[in-house]
Each structure stands twice: as structure tokens, then as C-alpha cells.
Amino acid sequence: MKYAPQMLGATHPDLSRPDHLLWAATTAMGQLLSGEDLHLTIGAALATLGQAVDADRVYIFENHLDPDSGAPLMSQRHEWCAASAEAQIDNPDLQNISYEQVCIRWYHSLAVGQAVAGLVRDFPPSKRPLLEAQSIRSILALPIQIGSQFWGFIGFDDCRTDRLWTPMEHQVLRATAAALGNAYVRLKVEETLCANQAQYQIAVRAGQVGVWNWDLRTNAIDLDPQLKQMLGYEDAEIRNHIEDWGQHVHPEDRERVMAAVRDHLDGRTPEYQVEHRMLHKDGSLRWFLARGIAVREANGKPCRMLSTDTDITELRQSRERERLAGVVFDAA
């Protein structure tokens, strides 16, 4: 699916380039995780990111298997294209591409959470034709994970300059790739369960997502008002500070959550990810899947964390019902 550059995306001229990139990533994550029409909001998010990093194309490839051999393939599903480049979404050469035949090293790198980036002129001669046919001079590809599965990747093309992507761009765009994983979970659930309205409503509620942006230097945290509403609070009722937000994590889960944060900030994990309980204003408990990634300074020191919290309470309850049903069936 392609998206016209004049229709989607946004810029913020009053911010410096690093702050603008953070703003764009937060905006894109909000677009991905709050829109009702996910195909449209994915396009809006790609446009926001493409304009923020001055890319010529931004696109999403999905992994799938060859029905005959079982070999991993990739196919382009979405694209935003600037006026400076030719759209490729209808290019048949970008469907059912064999990783093994074209870029097996990409598969191995992306599957373990690593980025693929560089100047096309520096790539091995056998890898250049497909990229050069699209006038790509510089490329950045970041994996999209759904759970522990390497689902696909988001790519950024520069067709005008021999560009080296900055560490800041790597870090911030990687966080958005994590949000893309959450968005596709919602899309898959909605398409699978739409025939069953009761299950569909559960899936939509379970897909509630809020975005937060934590300044590690000051402990100020920019909390999506929707995230507070998911716990029954108005925006003004919870101060935007990590200590205040942390008080709403279930006491028995706080140390586990902080351990996951420390593991990521210390570089032991490629992303922050943990399932935990939070305290609702009405006294009930809600389960959340928290996922995020740190933005680091040039010396590697983390300065921010961009994350999403997804309400998975109904999915957890459904999982538990299935588990109990399985136990009863086995016992019978």
C-alpha cells in the first residue's frame, strides 16, 4: 500500500534536529497505536518518520515462507515515498524475494535484532543490482519484532546522497520499529477475529496502547494521556515523573520491571520488554506489555527511553482460560 507525501506526516520547525527526531518518533508511535484504520495510520507514521529524517522512501517488508521449500522470503507491504524518488510499491521484483538467494546475511543480522545500514556502493557486487535499480544510494533497515519472532523490517532509503545514518537515528527509529510490531499485532487480531464481535471487542480493548518518553537525566516522563486513562485517571491526576508513574506498578512487580530496565540500559538486552501488572484507580489490576528502547548519546550513555505500554489484560485472561480448559481436558 502506498501513501502520497502531500497527504500524510508532519514536521515541527521549532525544534532542533535531535529533538525533532524524538518528537517525530513519539508522533509516529502515537499514530501507529491509536488509529482505528491501521493501514492508514501506518502510512501516516511512515510519512512522519520519512519527513523527519529526510528520507526518500520508507517502507515495510513482511517475512513469510516459501510454500514449497519453507525457505524465508520477504515482500514489500507498505511504502511512503517522497517526491524526490520513484515509488516502488508496485514493483513485482520486491515481492517474494528469497533471503537465501539475495541477502542471507541481512536475514541473520535482522533476526538477532541488528540493523543493516550502509552505502550501496560499498555492498558486495552481487547485492547491488536490486538496490541500484531503485536508485538507492544509502539504506537503513531495522527489524520489526512481534514477541520473539522476527516479523520483518522497516527500511529507509536515501536516493540523493551517500548518507551515513547517525547513532541517534538508529536508536530512535529502532524504538518506532518496536511500535510497529505492536500495531501489526492489533491488525492481525482485528482481521482474524472480526467475524466474532464479542472476541473482536476483547481484542480491541486488549490492544489499548499508550506511549511514554522518559528523560533519564531528569526523570521527567512524557506520558500519553491515553495511558493514564487506561488506568482510570485524568491527565492532571498523575504527575509526569517516573516516581509518580512507578507507584502505579504492582508492588510485587516493581523490582522485576526495574531489572528489565537496568538490563536494557546497561546493554545486556537489545530492547526493554516485560509483562507486569498495574493498579487501576478502581482497585482492579491490569496487565501490561511494556516495550521500549533507549536513545543513547555519542558515548553510548542512555539519555532517554521511548516505550509503549499495551493493555493485555483480556488476552492474559483468555490465555489462562485456555490453559485451565486444557488441564481439565487432559484430566478427563
The answer to whether residues 55 and 6 belong to one domain is yes
Task: Identify whether residues 70 and 202 lie together within a single domain.
Answer: no
Q: Are residues 173 and 200 in the same domain?
A: no
- 252 by DSSP, 3-state: which? coil
Choosing from 162, 184, 206, the residue where a domain stops is: 184
Is residue 180 located within the same domain as residue 221?
A: no
Same domain for 158 and 264, yes or no, is no
Answer yes or no: is 298 within a domain: yes
Whether residue 166 sits in one domain with residue 256: no
Alpha-carbon distance 32 to 179, whole Å? 7
Same domain, 9 and 51: yes
Indicate the residue among 149, 184, 219 that finishes a domain: 184
Question: Would you call 134 helix, strand, or coil by DSSP?
Answer: coil
Between β-strands 72-81 and 57-65, what pairing exists: parallel, antiparallel or unpaired? antiparallel
Question: For each of the chain's 332 residues, which pLDDT tens digit applies?
Answer: 544 433 334 444 443 455 667 777 777 776 666 656 667 778 888 888 888 889 999 999 999 988 888 889 999 999 999 999 999 999 999 999 999 988 899 999 999 989 999 999 999 888 899 999 999 999 999 998 876 678 899 999 999 999 999 888 888 888 778 777 766 666 655 554 444 444 434 434 444 677 788 989 899 998 888 889 999 999 999 999 999 999 999 999 999 999 999 998 988 887 888 999 999 999 999 999 888 888 777 677 888 888 888 888 887 877 777 667 664 434 33
CA distance 120 to 132: 8
In a domain, 258, yes or no: yes
- The set of cell numbers assigned to 55 is 528520507
The domain tally of the chain equals 2
Rounded distance, CA 259 to CA 159, Å? Answer: 42
Question: 134, 163, 184: which is the final residue of a domain?
Answer: 184
Domain CATH code at residue 198: 3.30.450.20
DSSP string, 116-128: EEEEGGGS-GGGH
Give CA–CA dist 19/10, Å, rounded. Answer: 14
Domain boundaries, position 171: 2-184
Provide Rg for the chain, Cα atoms: 21
